[in-house]
Amino acid sequence: MSASMRSFMRCAFFLLAGSVAACTGDVAPLTPAQRQAVAAYVSKVPPSPQHRLDIDFNGKVKLLGYDLDREQWRPGETMRVTWHWQVLESLGEGWKLFTHIDDVDNDRTLNQDGNGTLRWLYGPERWRPGTYIRDPQDLHLPEDWAGSSARLYTGIWREGERLDVADDVSDAKGRMLAATVPTPGSKDVGRSEDAVPKLVVVQTKRPPKLDGSLIDPVWSFANTTRAFVETLEGGVAPVQASAKLLWDKRYLYVGVDVQDGLLRASHTERDDHLWEQDCVELMLDPDGDGKNYFEIQISPRGVVFDTRYDARRVPQPFGHTDWDSRVRVGVSPRGNLDDKEADAGYTVEMAIPWQAFSLDGDPHPPPAIGAEWRANLYVMDLTAERQRAAAWSSLGIGDFHVPRRFGILAFEGSPKEMVGTNGPLQISADRMPKELGRGPALESDVKDTMIRKRVINRRHPGEPTPKPPSRGAQTLESSEAAH
Domain with residue 343: its CATH number is 2.60.40.1190
Determine the 3-state secondary structure of 357 from DSSP.
Answer: helix
- Helix ranges (H only) for 105-219 are 117-121
- Distance between CA atoms of residues 122 and 41, nearest Å: 9
Question: In this structure, are 289 and 347 located in the same domain?
Answer: yes
Count each helix (H run) and each strand (E run) in the chain, helices first.
4, 21
Question: In this structure, are 335 and 209 located in the same domain?
Answer: yes
Does residue 311 fall inside a structural domain? Answer: yes
- CB atoms closer than 10 angstroms to residue 14: 12
Does residue 1 fall inside a structural domain? Answer: no
- pLDDT value at position 468? 41
- Distance between CA atoms of residues 282 and 356, nearest Å: 14
- pLDDT value at position 168? 58
- pLDDT value at position 7? 46
Q: Comparing C-alpha atoms, which of 307, 39, 6, 63 is closest to residue 178?
A: 63
62 in the Ramachandran plot: left (φ > 0), alpha (ψ -120 to 50) or beta?
beta
- pLDDT value at position 11? 47
- pLDDT value at position 104? 79
- CB atoms closer than 10 angstroms to residue 312: 13
Q: Comparing C-alpha atoms, which of 427, 123, 443 is closest to residue 302?
A: 427
- CATH number for the domain spanning 177: value is 2.70.50
Question: In this structure, are 410 and 326 located in the same domain?
Answer: yes
Question: In this structure, are 211 and 244 located in the same domain?
Answer: yes
Query: Which domain covers residue 335, as residue numbers?
Result: 198-447
Question: In this structure, are 152 and 292 located in the same domain?
Answer: no
Using the 3D structure, point to which of 188, 213, 231 is the last residue of a domain.
Answer: 188
Q: Comparing C-alpha atoms, which of 153, 130, 126 is closest to residue 53?
A: 153
- pLDDT value at position 354? 97
Question: In this structure, are 434 and 376 located in the same domain?
Answer: yes
Domains held by the chain: number: 2
Question: In this structure, are 241 and 380 located in the same domain?
Answer: yes
- Distance between CA atoms of residues 316 and 50, nearest Å: 54
The beta-strand segments (E) located in 44-197 are 51-57, 61-68, 78-87, 96-103, 108-111, 132-140, 149-158, 161-162, 176-182
The beta-strand segments (E) located in 131-227 are 132-140, 149-158, 161-162, 176-182, 198-203
Query: How far is the first Cα of the chain from the last one, in angstroms, to the nearest whole number?
Result: 39
Q: Comparing C-alpha atoms, which of 227, 248, 222, 223 is closest to residue 351?
A: 248
- pLDDT value at position 426? 72
Question: In this structure, are 365 and 277 located in the same domain?
Answer: yes
Does residue 463 fall inside a structural domain? Answer: no
Across-strand partners of 309?
Answer: 293
> How far out from the chain centre does Cα 299 lie?
14
Stretches where the chain sits below pLDDT 50 are 1-25, 187-193, 429-483
Strand-strand pairing, 304-309 and 293-298: antiparallel
- Distance between CA atoms of residues 159 and 161, nearest Å: 6
Question: In this structure, are 246 and 175 located in the same domain?
Answer: no
- pLDDT value at position 114? 83
- pLDDT value at position 324? 96
Radius of gyration for the chain, computed over Cα atoms and rounded to the nearest angstrom: 23
Question: In this structure, are 175 and 204 located in the same domain?
Answer: no
How far lies 85's CA from each of 70, 136, 142, 320, 342, in Å? Answer: 21, 11, 27, 52, 26
Question: In this structure, are 358 and 230 located in the same domain?
Answer: yes
Is 34 within 8 Å of 342 (Cβ atoms)? Answer: yes
- Evaluated on CA atoms 391, 397, 400, 401, the torsion sign reads negative
pLDDT digits (tens, 9 = 90+) for 301-333: 999 999 999 999 999 999 999 999 999 999 999
Is 138 within 8 Å of 115 (Cβ atoms)? Answer: yes
User: Does the predicted TM-score (pTM) go above 0.75?
Assistant: no
> How far out from the chain centre does Cα 312 lie?
26
Does residue 435 fall inside a structural domain? Answer: yes
